[in-house]
Structure 1
Amino acid sequence: MTWLRRSLRGLSPIEARIDLQMLQDSWRTAPGGMIGQFIGLVLMGWMIRDWPVQHWRWMVPATGLLIVWAIVVMMARHFRRFGIPASGYERWRLALLWWHGAQGTSWGLMAVALLGEASSDWRLTFVAAIIVYCYTIMLVTVHDWAVSFMGASPLLVLAAGRLLVDHAPSSNYLAVVMIISLTTCMIVSLNISRRLREGALLRHENADLVLQLRDEINKVTQAKARAETADRQKSEFFASASHDLRQPLHVMMLLSSALKPHVEATEGATLLSKIHTALGSLSTMFEKMFDVARIDAQRIDYKAQALPLAALWSRLDNEFSVLCENKGLHWRMDTTDDWVHADPHVLERILRNLLNNAVRYTEQGEVRLRARARGPSIVCQIWDTGVGVQRQHRHRIFEDYFQASNQGRRSNEGLGLGLAVVRRLSMLGPTPVTLLSRPGRGSCFAVRVPRLIPAGAEGLVTRHAEAPTRPTSASARHTEPHKRERHGGVIVLIDDEPDVLDGTSLVLQQQGWQVAAASTPDGAMDAVIHLQEQGLMPEGDMPAALISDHRLGLSINGLDAIKQLRYEFGDELPAFLLTGEATPGLANDAQAVRVQLLHKPIQADRLLRLLQEVTEDAA
């Protein structure tokens, strides 16, 4: 019969686990009930000690009962020490059924011996005790209906049979009551046992599902961690490799600029101009790619500080007035005296990228930069009269490599990373970027920055605002670098790459600068002395400026080299630090010692323009 469940064969893994667990629970809890039965046996022996019944008739089954209990105690001790393995299920299951069947039979034989000699009152007492015992057995073993049946049915059947033998109405009535009680109890016990088994099955299935879900979550988590690690390693690789990849591009840009005076034919000048333009585009692409890599590799820290927008506006004005003039656009910048609380380098790069984007996609009209106070914030706005952005593209223009107006992927229009860099930079601090646009009429990108009004800032704001003069025509201030007047000052140049050293020296010498170039600070000092010995530098004069690479392959870096040479030539010596990598905190360290940080590759015209500005300011 299936309800006996004498073997685990043919069951599912979950059902086998449930049956094994229920068997272990039976052997763990049921032996404790023998204590109450032993006490009941002792009390019964004391009550019937004077009855006119032959003692062997009830003592023989009582002795059998004691023997069964002794065997069960030994088996329970073995169970507590070793448990029940799945392979031993059948043996322990049969032992459990035998135990309760033998126990019920022994009690039934004692009931047969005593009911024959008991008076009517005692018979009623015995029947009540038998019914209570059977119900107790079924309640204790309700989770296992076969055990309940084997423990209760022998006793009830033997007792009811003995009562029916008397053929007395009262005895027959008691027998019928016990049979009805047995039947009712068995039906109730069977239903409860089935419900418990179904509940246990459902609980184990849920537990298995939870384990499977946990396993899947662990797999997904591990896969996500591996993907994030791979992505971080990729970003770290690009960020670390940026110096090595920028170096040859930096040399090519310097050499192409140095080649201009030596190319006279119209065809050669045109080709050289195209080469220079292609190198500029390649430089811009590299810059955007490495910006994305540095941000993803978390190599850019957002360090907010008090920042006057007037100084930032001046730098952007110097650069983009020239770009707009070269493209035939009108450049308009509204002056501002506002201060903000932001990272100066992050904010400048956001605005620079947005302005580059505006110039690129505007063919006629104007590009405008302005700032507006809006409550606790300053909104920096870049307006243009370009092609605008279609509504269906506005949610995608900040994605990597997306270009709404460059579906053919023309390289001269970039990689589509400018606004992706803006999105990443804006997420470093409280600088959200928004867009308003009308297709065919232009766009407005806005950067919201926390407003700051520092104590005593009025004078500082005035000084910063009045420092740069902004003529209405950009051509009145800017000229092509190669048309500038020749210089005669000395530029100290330090770089551990011979190609970069030679290329930079050649470009500077073509503009009339004398160059003291070396790979170390001591070598630069020797080069300056050599120029003095040759009469190319009057003795007692100081260099006009100092340019140093950051990573020199020495025990010192570029900032240390600048500090060492400033000790020799004066703390006011203008200095530039060139770097091809994104070292965290380098920009702040350079700013703290009044060193201008430049990233490779750099256009030769821009380098010459910066040199002219700092030397004019120093003069």
Structure 2
Amino acid sequence: MKAEDPHQLTILREQTKLLFEHLPFVLYGVMASSAGLVAVLWHTGQGNALLLWLLAVYMLTGLRWWVRRHFNKLGAHFDPQHWIQVAVQFTAASGVLWGFAGVVFFSTDPMVLMVLTTFLAAMVAGAVSSHACHTPAYAAFALPASMPFIARCFWENTPFFWVLGTVAFVYVLINVNYGRNLQNMVIQSIRLRFQNAELIGELTLQKRVAEQASIAKTRFLAAASHDLRQPVQAIELLVDALGEDLANHPSKGLLDRIQEAGYGLRNLLNALLDSAKINAAAITAKPRHVQLAPLLKRICNELATQAQHKGLDIRVAKTKACVYTDPALLELILRNYVENAIKYTPEGRVLIGCRKQGGQIRIEVHDTGIGIPASAQETVFQEFYQLGNPERDKAKGLGLGLYIAHSLGKLLNHDIGVNSTVGKGSMFYVTVPQGDTSHLMDEPSRVQAGGKTPLTGKTVLLIDDDDLVRASVTEMLSRWQCSTIAAEDAETALRILMARGRMPDAIVADYRLRNKSTGVQAIQSLQAQLGNVPAVILTGDTAPSRIQEARNSGFLILHKPLSGVQLRSTLSELMSAKVRG
């Protein structure tokens, strides 16, 4: 063991512990062997010498046992350099006693000689395993135990004893060398154990650092997303309101470009929101039997404009397939597939189709795009991973689309994957259980804007601590001849309502309000005073904990930014549900 070994003291400590751990077996063996030797040699007429020798062996054995008990009481607080010397010295003392037996009980009588040789050889060999962790300890026993007997053989100075002494000497050397090899193996094992422990500690630390970085990232994205969603929400509604005023104005084209830019920003923010929902486990699958054709056609129609801007042909292959899945989540998976295909296809086409595979339906999205190297076909599903976008072109998104698709696939227990060839295109797929057309349900009806419950003459109570959001929502509602009472908290809202003598037809409340209060608390407080007024939570939070809290409230949740059409449709549904109730 090299002096510069950083684990030297640690290894020495472990060697010391091993010597004392093995000591009981050594002592049991010594007591049994010494008693056996005395019993076999008793007929030689050396009874007194044998008994005195056996007494010395047992006294030493008792002392070693007492020392071991004292060592065990120290626990981990012991000096390995001192205690390993203690172990070596006691081992040497035991070796001296056995060496004494090899001389005192030596006899040329063949039977006595065979017995003595056998017992000494057994002790030397047996000590190898019990003292293998520390060669000096083994040598301290083996040499004093054997060398007196070997010397006595040479003293006889006859050919037979010369051969016996030589064989015994070689035998001892072989065992010492074997013991040294065993010690090296033990030391290497100890060193590897501590290196592994250090590696595990380092990996644990790195994991903890990575987890803290991930938490910090999530908090940063949640805070940044919330702060961005507030002004974006205001811009979205103000642009929608302006769009109604400029329907036939020459500047309508410029406004359309602004709306298109806002649409791109909303998609980026919604990608962060979908990722946060997944991390918050705030998505619950609601599978049912559903026809694929309307779902695929809807995705194709909604994304056709994006494809046309790039000169791409986008098509859906005809299908009569019925599947069993959550249609909303499956649509989100496929929408991300198609949007990804459009982004990474410079020319050509995007094709959506289905294949039957046993009791499964595999939905495929083919493109003629740049393709994906084999080495990246698994990493493309990782969070924030983007292929071929080192400049982080915002037009290509955040690298969350495929991560969201993969996560939703796991949630639905649907197999998803990709087959791709660089320069020729890619095929992303999701495999869904086949459905039963006899269990199809009608699509849930949704009240469209301007439908059964118009907003004209209705009163909406808005609670939001952001002045710009209150102003934009008020402006939007005024276009629909809908009165708005806006306040920053529930107490102010209640005072205004009492002063005007008005009862709201619906409540829209932001989730995060001032003074650490929430929209849920505001709505509950108002409903306690006003009765069961329909209410919806409007939130810009993407922190997983906040999403889960809002979801657990039981109120309908809308995420900022939402368009004027979405707001109008939601309010109409709320009020019509109240009428039906």
TM-score normalised by the chain length of structure 2 = 0.69
Q: What is the one-letter code of the residue matched to 1:601?
A: P
Change (3 A) 1:478 1:506: closer
What is the rounded CA distance, in whole Å, between the counterparts of 1:188 and 1:221 in structure 2? 49
Map 1:95-114 → 2, pairs under 5 A:
95-108=93-106
Partners of 2:353 and 2:496 lie apart in 1 by: 47
Q: Is the 8 A contact 1:301 1:584 kept in 2?
A: no
The answer on 1:599 being equivalent to 2:559 is yes
Q: SS in structure 1 opposite 2:431?
A: strand
Question: Structure 2 vs 1, CA of residues 69 and 306 (structure 1 numbering), >3 Å: closer, same or farther?
Answer: same
Provide closer, same or farther for how the CA distance between residues 416 and 140 of structure 1 changes in structure 2, counting only shifts above 3 A: closer
Alignment of 1:58-69 (within 5 A): 62=48, 67=52, 69=54
Name the residue aligned to 1:488. Answer: 456
Match of 2:285 in 1: 303
Q: In the TM superposition, what whole-angstrom CA distance separates every residue of 1:280-325 from its partner, at most 9, and x where no partner exists? A: 4333222223433443x34344424225358983994698279569
CA deviation after TM superposition for structure 1 residue 589, in Å: 8.0
Select 2:393's aligned residue among 385, 404, 410: 410
Q: Is the 8 A contact 2:307 2:342 kept in 1?
A: no
**1:388 partner amino acid:** G
For 2:501 and 2:460, the matched residues in 1 are separated by: 13
Partner of 2:77: none
CA distance in 2 between partners of 1:608 and 1:240 (Å): 27
Q: Is the 8 A contact 1:551 1:558 kept in 2?
A: no
How many angstroms apart in 1 are the aligned matches of 2:480 and 2:17?
Answer: 93
Establish whether residue 181 from structure 1 lines up as the match of residue 143 from structure 2: no
What is the RMSD computed on CA atoms of the aligned residues? Answer: 5.4
Q: Aligned pair in 2 of structure 1 residues 101, 20: CA closer, same or farther (>3 Å)?
A: farther
Shift of 1:531: 6.7
2:538 to 557, 578, 594: 578
> What secondary structure sits across from 2:412 in the alignment?
coil
Letter of the 1:389 partner, please give it.
I
1:377 aligns with 2:360: yes
Q: Find the aligned partners of 1:180 and 1:580 in 2 and give their Cα distance.
A: 95
SS in 2 for 1:489: coil
- Deviation for aligned residue 1:507: 1.9
> Distance in 1 between the 2:370 and 2:57 partners?
87
Structure number with larger C-alpha Rg: 1
Which residue is equivalent to 2:275?
292
* Contact 1:317–1:333 (Cα < 8 Å) also in 2: no
**Offset from partner CA, 1:551-582 (integer Å, 9 cap, x none):** 5625845885897799556xxx6x65423346
Gaps of 5+ in 2: 69-81, 129-138
Q: Deviations over 1:559-617 (max 9, x none)?
A: 85897799556xxx6x6542334634966986xx8x5x431112335434666788899
Match of 1:6 in 2: none
State the percentage of identical aligned residues: 22
TM-score normalised per structure 1: 0.65
In structure 1, distance between residues paired with 2:536 and 2:4: 83
C-alpha distance in structure 2 between counterparts of 1:204 and 1:277, whole Å:
69
Quote the residue 1:505 is aligned against.
474
1:377–1:497: structure 2 CA closer, same or farther, 3 Å change rule?
farther
Q: 1:232 to 1:606 in 2, by over 3 A?
A: same
Q: Which has the higher contact order (CA 8 A, sep 6+)?
A: 2
Unpaired segments ≥5 residues, structure 1: 1-8, 46-57, 112-123, 162-174, 469-476, 480-485, 534-538
Q: Is the 8 A contact 1:548 1:562 kept in 2?
A: no
Aligned to 1:167: none
Q: Match for 1:88 among 76, 86, 89?
A: 86
Distance in 2 between residues matched to 1:181 and 1:440, nearest whole Å: 82
Name the CA distance, whole Å, in 2 between partners of 1:606 and 1:515: 17
1:150 aligns with 2:118: no
> 2: CA distance between counterparts of 1:504 and 1:257?
11
Matches of 1:563 and 1:94, distance apart in 2 = 90
Whole-angstrom distance in 2 between the partners of 1:181 and 1:218: 55
Counterpart of 1:246, as a letter, is R
SS at match of 1:415: coil
1:152-205 deviations in whole A, cap 9, x for unaligned?
Answer: 2365466x47xxxxxxxxxxxxx5444433333333343244324423432442
Q: Contact 1:550 / 1:559 at 8 angstroms: preserved in 2? A: no
- Preserved CA contact (<8 Å) 1:431 1:449: yes
Q: For the residues of structure 2 that align with 1:337 and 1:559, how far apart are their CA atoms?
A: 46
